[in-house]
Amino acid sequence: MEPLLATGVLKGTYGVEGYIKFHSFSEEYQHLLQLQEVLLRHKANEKQVVIDTVRIKGNDIHIKFVGIDTPEEARLLSGWEVWIPRSKAALLEEGEYYAADFIGCHILVDKKQVGEVISTIDGPQALLLEVRITMDNRVCLIPFMDRYVGTVDLRNKELELLEPMLLS
């Protein structure tokens, strides 16, 4: 089965025909126009839905799903994440990454493994890498910023940590 990526979240209704607003995690949304169906997830719940229409108005994206025909029905989907097959996700530019790709990466200091990324968190200024430190099993947060993270090697699942003090 192809890996899935969370591409955004549904946020509130639009109009009277069952449209719901879509907030993209990456600010990319052109790939949505090519999709016919998506997986919606909310807590432990999942549902496959068929896309009827995607409307783009400036920076606003509105989606209508087959069978969702009223604002009341659409409102029930508010807060659900939209998951899509990785092959249908927005293309990445050089130096761009999907946060999901960092999970399981080894953190290296002077080419020695010192920890592993166990999750990511959207921080106020940058993505935060939640890292379990190998030596003592503690967990710390590392901002994914150029001054803290150097070489990114996703093929070998390795991230170079430039500031080892962040592990203290």
pLDDT digits (tens, 9 = 90+) for 2-16: 789 898 999 999 999
Label the pairing between strands 106-109 and 158-161: parallel
> pLDDT class for 1, splitting at 50, 70, 90?
low
Asked if the structure places residue 47 within a domain, the reply is yes
pTM above 0.85, yes or no: no
Q: E strand or H helix at 121, and its extent? A: strand 112-122
The whole domain housing 116 covers 99-167
Q: What are the φ/ψ torsions at residue 151 (nearest 5 degrees)?
A: -65, 130
- The domain spanning residue 139 has which CATH number? 2.30.30.240
- Mean pLDDT (the chain) is 92
> pLDDT class for 95, splitting at 50, 70, 90?
confident
Overall domain count for the chain: 2
Burial class (CB in 10 A: 0-12, 13-18, 19+), 20: buried
- Are residues 76 and 136 both part of a single domain? no
